[in-house]
A and B are shown apart, each in its own frame.
Chain A
Amino acid sequence: MPLSEVRPLLFANARLVDPSRDLDFVGDLLIADGVIREAARGIASAGVPEGTQVVDCRGHVLAPGLVDMRAFVGEPGAEHRETLASASQAAAAGGVTTVVCQPETDPPIDDPAVVDFVLRRARDTAIVRIQPMAALTKGLAGQEMTEIGLLRAAGAVAFTNGAKSVTNARVFRRALTYARDFDALIVHHTEDPALVGEGAMNEGEFASRLGLSGIPRVAETIMVERDMRLVALTKGRYHAASLTCAESLEVLARAKDAGLPVTASASINHLSFNEFDVGAFRTFFKVSPPLRGEEDRLALIEAVASGLIDVVMSDHNPQDVETKRLTFADAAAGAIGLETMLSAGLRLVHAGKLTLPKLLRALSSRPAEILGLAVGTLKPGAPADIIVFDPAEAWRLDPADLKSRCKNTPFDEAKMEGRVLRTLVAGRTVYEYV
């Protein structure tokens, strides 16, 4: 983790948005020794510690750094796709100060030694915080549970089977039951693989016209339904990794109303695009679960606004030319997103579909709360993981400018609104837009 800057820093004249406390006002924020000291109106005039460096934010937004709950990083094993270092560079440029990396590495993160490896590599090479999620089952095979207690003690923030569902309900029930004793969070990808079959995109008229096999919505909903029953039975803490369908939201709402310990994420891709973006077999829009219909996208946005969907994550998944420049059926699923998540989210704010505090809640404070991390807030005493961004600056995305090792962005050449100006982790500037 980078050392904090020696001198205290005062961010003056900022629109301070702290979703953890429902605060949204113009004021100043003082940080020193890597932590937030104070966020209030008129600190600048009231006198600051000697030697304080003052940064004029010129009315731009200052908010907690983003906590990305789902990003695939290729280290160890697929460093050509992404390393912890390159992912952290991309994250910093996108305002993400905590990256929760996924266990689908080689070897998978299913052993405390691998958690330790990732944390040490992150300490030595990454410029933002890296929090590994560990495998829920050994080898991600979905059969035997991993050492949840030891992995948690080693630093795993949650447990997941990655982009695969645990189809064996008995195994999943036991894992939920066992994890409860450690208050461990289980994050589950909800897709019945038998119903997914050979499917490459959302099932429906458009897939039929393209002659592509479809993935029905029920593949997701049936798994969410099953999981809610198992959560009701076990009371284990559960997080749906990536919901995409309006029907799944109904199931989630019933579970939340019943007081079950469930939360859920949606990916920025599913909030930004629908199945028609696949167009003429564009593989950069092949993601898993697939992009759904426009009515699903709108329902997801509404669910983020209402808080039914707790978290918006990037689902960052670097794929290179060899895995994307194939026929649609053969191409790998996945899109990069660390650098574009905030700007893409701001599109929804500019379109009037979300307020800025609600967007930032889903991007920072809620994931931090769910994962039990001290970040995602501007509270005095919290780590100074903060971002300054201009929510309105217009720019065009040039893939060559991306810091990620892979360029598989669905926002290729797209017009973006909103740009990160500065990213700090533990009080140290790790990215500055020049």
Chain B
Amino acid sequence: MTPEPKSSFVLSRRHLLGIEGLSYPEITGLLDLADEYVALNRQVEKKRTVLRGRTQVNLFFEASTRTQSSFEIAGKRLGADVMNMSVGSSSIKKGETLIDTAVTLNAMHPDILVVRHGDSGAVALLARKVDCSVINAGDGAHEHPTQALLDALTIRRNKGAIDGLTVAICGDILHSRVARSNIILLNTLGARVRVVAPSTLLPAGIERFGVEVYRDMREGLRDADIVMMLRLQRERMHGSFVPSVREYFHYYGLDQAKLRFAKRDALVMHPGPMNRGVEIDSSVADGAQSLINEQVEMGVAVRMAALEALARHLPNA
């Protein structure tokens, strides 16, 4: 028989739309539950029944391989029937598709919708139109809560605690939902958060997010415990936000030379998919200090925890 997690944590809300608004106990409750799933996921028998009979729909308006498969595996391991829906946004207007799809799906009585959309606020808008639970798998440049949770779990397992650590988030902060969710979560858990980016990739008012802002990467990495790299979208590399790939890599790409400014035992993270040679050098990405593959493993555990913690709160649970 499969051992059950000891944690009986319940997320007493219907949706997981963002880190914003989550309390310290809610975050640590999710991380504790996820921690147990890490162990369970390393066993041969991974299948559990907590979501048996439940229908989980992964509704992705924006292409994603890793997040979608991570949610799919998480749902299946918990016993849910998982359906993947990828909705292109080419032919019809995006917003119409969003509401129409939500209403249509709702009529099929899913229990959990996992939604990714390219527009900020889209997942919250959809959540208002359905009766089931909704997990935000990334909305525009707004939030990506399960990514921040899996990052926190990865850090906690490697450093023991998050409180008091210095975390440098580097790269395209402006367009990054990962950065926003992480800044909120890491601040809640007591980390010192730095952001490192050229000024064109920093959002207005960033200094009021509870972060220290650095334009010089070496300064920003000095004595950091964690270096968290962000992906730079291809369309932003050539003159619109930064002049060129090689200039960006020269000043903001993480290579061994820059990494030496961080603590000797600093760890390197990246939400993926990586642009090797743009924001991160292969020798760092594949090096001893890299946690990038472990992040992927934590992703499944965190998503199982989020699904279960919400499911415990579902009607008829």
Residue in contact with B205 in the complex, picked from A205, A212, A326, CB distance below 8 Å:
A205
Beta-carbon nearest neighbor of B173 in chain A:
A208
Contact across chains for A329 and B140 when beta carbons are under 8 A apart:
yes
Taking CB atoms and an 8 Å cut-off, the chain B residues in 116-146 that contact chain A are: 117, 119-122, 124-125, 139-143
How far does the alpha carbon of A322 sit from the alpha carbon of B97 in the complex, in Å? Answer: 11
- As a 0/1 sequence over residues 51 to 85 of chain B, the CB contacts with chain A under 8 angstroms (1 = contact) are 00000000000000000000000000000000000
Query: Given the known A-B contacts A211-B140, A211-B143, are A322 and B125 also in contact in the complex, defined by CB atoms under 8 Å?
Result: no
Asked if A53 lies at the interface with its beta carbon under 8 angstroms from chain B, I say no
Query: Given the known A-B contacts A211-B120, A212-B120, A327-B122, are A205 and B204 also in contact in the complex, defined by CB atoms under 8 Å?
Result: yes
Beta-carbon nearest neighbor of B175 in chain A:
A211
Query: Given the known A-B contacts A281-B125, A326-B96, A330-B93, are A208 and B205 also in contact in the complex, defined by CB atoms under 8 Å?
Result: yes
How far does the alpha carbon of A325 sit from the alpha carbon of B121 in the complex, in Å? Answer: 12
A330 to chain B, nearest CB (A): 4
Residue in contact with B96 in the complex, picked from A206, A209, A216, A322, CB distance below 8 Å:
A322
Asked if A227 lies at the interface with its beta carbon under 8 angstroms from chain B, I say no
Question: What chain A residues lie within 8 Å of B121 (beta carbons)?
Answer: 210-212, 280-281, 327-329
How far does the alpha carbon of A328 sit from the alpha carbon of B123 in the complex, in Å? Answer: 11
Contact across chains for A329 and B120 when beta carbons are under 8 A apart:
yes
B272 to chain A, nearest CB (A): 20
Question: What chain B residues lie within 8 Å of A208 (beta carbons)?
Answer: 203-206, 209
Question: What chain B residues lie within 8 Å of A328 (beta carbons)?
Answer: 119-121
Asked if B88 lies at the interface with its beta carbon under 8 angstroms from chain A, I say no
Asked if A214 lies at the interface with its beta carbon under 8 angstroms from chain B, I say yes
Contact across chains for B93 and A327 when beta carbons are under 8 A apart:
no
Residue in contact with B95 in the complex, picked from A204, A214, A280, A325, CB distance below 8 Å:
A325
B105 to chain A, nearest CB (A): 17
Residue in contact with A211 in the complex, picked from B141, B206, B208, CB distance below 8 Å:
B141
Asked if B189 lies at the interface with its beta carbon under 8 angstroms from chain A, I say no
Asked if B15 lies at the interface with its beta carbon under 8 angstroms from chain A, I say no
Asked if B98 lies at the interface with its beta carbon under 8 angstroms from chain A, I say yes
Question: What chain B residues lie within 8 Å of A214 (beta carbons)?
Answer: 203-204
A293 to chain B, nearest CB (A): 11
- As a 0/1 sequence over residues 87 to 107 of chain B, the CB contacts with chain A under 8 angstroms (1 = contact) are 000000111101100000000
Asked if A338 lies at the interface with its beta carbon under 8 angstroms from chain B, I say no
Taking CB atoms and an 8 Å cut-off, the chain B residues in 130-169 that contact chain A are: 139-143
Asked if A203 lies at the interface with its beta carbon under 8 angstroms from chain B, I say yes
B178 to chain A, nearest CB (A): 11
- As a 0/1 sequence over residues 294 to 334 of chain A, the CB contacts with chain B under 8 angstroms (1 = contact) are 00000000000000000000000000001001111111000
Query: Given the known A-B contacts A205-B205, A329-B140, are A211 and B177 also in contact in the complex, defined by CB atoms under 8 Å?
Result: yes
Chain A interface extent, by class:
20 to 34
From B139, B180, B204, name the one whose CB has the most chain A CB atoms within 10 angstroms.
Answer: B204
Question: What chain A residues lie within 8 Å of B205 (beta carbons)?
Answer: 204-206, 208-209
Asked if A101 lies at the interface with its beta carbon under 8 angstroms from chain B, I say no
B92 to chain A, nearest CB (A): 12
Question: What chain A residues lie within 8 Å of B209 (beta carbons)?
Answer: 205, 208-209
Contact across chains for B95 and A209 when beta carbons are under 8 A apart:
no
Asked if A336 lies at the interface with its beta carbon under 8 angstroms from chain B, I say no
How far does the alpha carbon of A208 sit from the alpha carbon of B209 in the complex, in Å? Answer: 9
Beta-carbon nearest neighbor of A327 in chain B:
B119
Asked if A84 lies at the interface with its beta carbon under 8 angstroms from chain B, I say no
How far does the alpha carbon of A331 sit from the alpha carbon of B95 in the complex, in Å? Answer: 8
Asked if A67 lies at the interface with its beta carbon under 8 angstroms from chain B, I say no
Contact across chains for B93 and A211 when beta carbons are under 8 A apart:
no
Asked if A99 lies at the interface with its beta carbon under 8 angstroms from chain B, I say no
Beta-carbon nearest neighbor of A280 in chain B:
B124
Question: What chain A residues lie within 8 Å of B206 (beta carbons)?
Answer: 208
A215 to chain B, nearest CB (A): 11
Question: What chain B residues lie within 8 Å of A10 (beta carbons)?
Answer: none
Asked if A207 lies at the interface with its beta carbon under 8 angstroms from chain B, I say yes
Question: What chain A residues lie within 8 Å of B119 (beta carbons)?
Answer: 327-330
B187 to chain A, nearest CB (A): 13
Beta-carbon nearest neighbor of A206 in chain B:
B205
Question: What chain B residues lie within 8 Å of A329 (beta carbons)?
Answer: 119-121, 140
Beta-carbon nearest neighbor of B126 in chain A:
A327
Contact across chains for A210 and B122 when beta carbons are under 8 A apart:
no
How far does the alpha carbon of A331 sit from the alpha carbon of B93 in the complex, in Å? Answer: 11
Taking CB atoms and an 8 Å cut-off, the chain A residues in 46-97 that contact chain B are: none
How far does the alpha carbon of A175 sit from the alpha carbon of B203 in the complex, in Å? Answer: 38
Query: Given the known A-B contacts A322-B96, A326-B98, are A203 and B204 also in contact in the complex, defined by CB atoms under 8 Å?
Result: yes
Nearest 4 pairs of A and B residues by beta carbon: A205-B205, A326-B95, A281-B121, A211-B142
Residues of B within 8 A of A (CB): 20, 93-96, 98-99, 117, 119-122, 124-125, 139-143, 177, 180, 203-206, 208-209
Residues of A within 8 A of B (CB): 203-212, 214, 216, 280-281, 322, 325-331
18 more contacts with CB within 8 A, not counting A207-B204, A214-B204, A325-B99, are A204-B205, A208-B203, A210-B121, A211-B121, A211-B143, A212-B141, A212-B142, A322-B96, A326-B94, A326-B96, A327-B94, A327-B95, A327-B119, A327-B121, A328-B121, A329-B120, A329-B140, A331-B95
9 A-B pairs, CB-CB below 8 angstroms?
A: A208-B205, A210-B121, A210-B142, A211-B139, A211-B141, A216-B204, A326-B95, A326-B99, A327-B122
